[in-house]
A and B are shown apart, each in its own frame.
Chain A
Amino acid sequence: MQSTLTARTDQPVKSGRKFTLRQDLTGYIFLLPWLIGFVVFTLGPILASLYLSFTNYDLMTMPEWVGIFNYNRLLTRDARFAQSMSVTFTFVVTSVPLQLIVALGIALVLNRGIRGLPWYRALFYLPSLLGGSVAIAILWRQVFGNDGLLNQILLIFGIEGQSWIGSPDTALSTLIVLRVWQFGSPMVIFLAGLKQVPQSLYEAANIDGANSVQQFFKITLPLITPIFFFNLVLQMISAFQAFTPAYIISDGTGAPADSTLFYSLYIYIQGFRYFRMGYAAAMAWIMLIVIVFFTILNFGLSRFWVFYGDED
Chain B
Amino acid sequence: MFKELFGKRIVALFVLLMMLSVPVIQAQDGPTIRLGWWGNEPRHELYAELSDMYEELTGVTLEREFNAWSPYWELLSTQVAAGNLPDILHMHPTFVNEYAGRGQLLDLTPYVESGQLDLSSFPEGTLDSGKVGDQIFMVALGTSSPGTHYNAQFMEEAGIEFDPFTWTWEDYVEIASQLRETMPEGTWPAADDGSADQALETFMRQQGKDFMDADGIAFDREDLLEYWGMWEDMRANNLIPPPDITQEYANVGHADSMLANGVVAMDILSGNQHKLFQAATDYPLGLAVIPRTLNEDGELQHGDVIGGAYLSCAANTEYVDECIDYINWMVNDEEVAVIYNGEHGPPGNAENAVLIAENMDEADQRMFAMQDYIAPYASLRSQRPEWGTEAGDAYIRFYQELTFGNMTLEEAVDAFFEEIDFISS
Minimum CB–CB distance for B235 against chain A, Å: 15
In chain A between 196 and 227, which residues have their CB closer than 8 angstroms to a CB of chain B? none
- A59 near B247 with CB under 8 A, answer no
- A255 near B250 with CB under 8 A, answer yes
- A272 near B248 with CB under 8 A, answer no
Residues 42-86 of chain B, each 1 if its beta carbon lies under 8 Å from chain A, else 0: 000000000000000000000000000010001001101100000
- B102 near A273 with CB under 8 A, answer no
- A78 near B422 with CB under 8 A, answer yes
- Complex alpha-carbon distance, A251 and B404, angstroms: 19
- B78 near A272 with CB under 8 A, answer yes
In chain A between 257 and 283, which residues have their CB closer than 8 angstroms to a CB of chain B? 257-258, 269, 272-275
- B386 near A252 with CB under 8 A, answer no
- A165 near B422 with CB under 8 A, answer no
- A254 (CB) vs chain B CBs: closest residue: B397
Chain B interface, DSSP helix/strand/loop, else mixed = helix
Residues 60-78 of chain A, each 1 if its beta carbon lies under 8 Å from chain B, else 0: 1100000000000100011
Report chain B residues within 8 Å CB of A275.
77, 386
- B404 near A273 with CB under 8 A, answer no
- B73 (CB) vs chain A CBs: closest residue: A273
Answer whether A257 and B80 are a contact pair too, CB < 8 Å, given A58-B386, A163-B245, A274-B387.
no
- Complex alpha-carbon distance, A274 and B247, angstroms: 22
In chain B between 218 and 256, which residues have their CB closer than 8 angstroms to a CB of chain A? 243-248, 250-251
Report chain B residues within 8 Å CB of A269.
393
Cβ-based interface call for A145 (8 A):
yes
- B78 near A256 with CB under 8 A, answer no
Report chain B residues within 8 Å CB of A274.
387, 389-390
- B243 near A166 with CB under 8 A, answer yes
Minimum CB–CB distance for A249 against chain B, Å: 10
Minimum CB–CB distance for A243 against chain B, Å: 14
Minimum CB–CB distance for A274 against chain B, Å: 5
- Complex alpha-carbon distance, A146 and B246, angstroms: 11
Minimum CB–CB distance for A256 against chain B, Å: 5
Report chain A residues within 8 Å CB of B74.
272-273
- Complex alpha-carbon distance, A272 and B406, angstroms: 28
Cβ-based interface call for B293 (8 A):
no
- A165 (CB) vs chain B CBs: closest residue: B248
- B247 near A255 with CB under 8 A, answer yes
- A163 near B248 with CB under 8 A, answer yes
Answer whether A77 and B244 are a contact pair too, CB < 8 Å, given A256-B404, A272-B77.
no
Cβ-based interface call for A167 (8 A):
yes
- A163 (CB) vs chain B CBs: closest residue: B244
- Complex alpha-carbon distance, A103 and B390, angstroms: 41
Cβ-based interface call for A162 (8 A):
yes
Cβ-based interface call for B351 (8 A):
no
Cβ-based interface call for A253 (8 A):
yes
Cβ-based interface call for B379 (8 A):
no
Cβ-based interface call for A193 (8 A):
no
- B250 near A251 with CB under 8 A, answer yes
Contact of A60 among B102, B246, B387 (CB under 8 A): B102
Residues 228-254 of chain A, each 1 if its beta carbon lies under 8 Å from chain B, else 0: 000000000000000000000001110
Cβ-based interface call for A132 (8 A):
no
Answer whether A252 and B70 are a contact pair too, CB < 8 Å, given A60-B104, A77-B422, A274-B390.
yes
Report chain B residues within 8 Å CB of A251.
70, 250-251
In chain B between 371 and 425, which residues have their CB closer than 8 angstroms to a CB of chain A? 386-387, 389-390, 393, 396-397, 400-401, 404, 406, 419, 422, 425
- Complex alpha-carbon distance, A251 and B70, angstroms: 10
Report chain A residues within 8 Å CB of B406.
168, 257
Q: Which of B77, B81, B104, B248 has the most CB of A within 10 A?
A: B248
- Complex alpha-carbon distance, A10 and B276, angstroms: 81
- Complex alpha-carbon distance, A272 and B80, angstroms: 12
Answer whether A145 and B250 are a contact pair too, CB < 8 Å, given A78-B422, A257-B400.
no
Residues 144-167 of chain A, each 1 if its beta carbon lies under 8 Å from chain B, else 0: 011000000000000000110111
- B243 near A256 with CB under 8 A, answer yes
- Complex alpha-carbon distance, A255 and B248, angstroms: 10
Contact of B404 among A58, A59, A167, A272 (CB under 8 A): A167
Minimum CB–CB distance for B423 against chain A, Å: 9
Minimum CB–CB distance for B378 against chain A, Å: 28
Answer whether A59 and B248 are a contact pair too, CB < 8 Å, given A274-B387, A274-B389.
no
Contact of A166 among B70, B245, B390, B393 (CB under 8 A): B245
- Complex alpha-carbon distance, A69 and B285, angstroms: 53
Minimum CB–CB distance for A72 against chain B, Å: 11
Report chain B residues within 8 Å CB of A272.
74, 77-78
- A162 near B78 with CB under 8 A, answer no
- B404 near A168 with CB under 8 A, answer yes
Q: Which of A60, A61, A79, A167 has the most CB of B within 10 A?
A: A60
- A277 (CB) vs chain B CBs: closest residue: B81
- B250 near A146 with CB under 8 A, answer no
Report chain B residues within 8 Å CB of A256.
243-244, 247, 400, 404
- Complex alpha-carbon distance, A101 and B341, angstroms: 59
Report chain B residues within 8 Å CB of A166.
243-248
- Complex alpha-carbon distance, A168 and B397, angstroms: 12
- B81 near A146 with CB under 8 A, answer no
- Kindly list 7 other residue pairs between chains A and B, CB separation below 8 angstroms, not including A59-B80, A273-B74: A58-B386, A59-B78, A60-B80, A60-B102, A167-B244, A257-B404, A273-B393
**CB pairs A–B below 8 angstroms (14 shown):** A60-B81, A77-B425, A165-B247, A166-B246, A168-B406, A253-B393, A253-B396, A255-B247, A255-B250, A255-B400, A256-B404, A257-B397, A272-B78, A275-B386
Residues of A at under 8 Å CB distance from B? Answer: 58-61, 73, 77-79, 145-146, 162-163, 165-168, 251-253, 255-258, 269, 272-275
Residues of B at under 8 Å CB distance from A? Answer: 70, 74, 77-78, 80-81, 102, 104, 243-248, 250-251, 386-387, 389-390, 393, 396-397, 400-401, 404, 406, 419, 422, 425
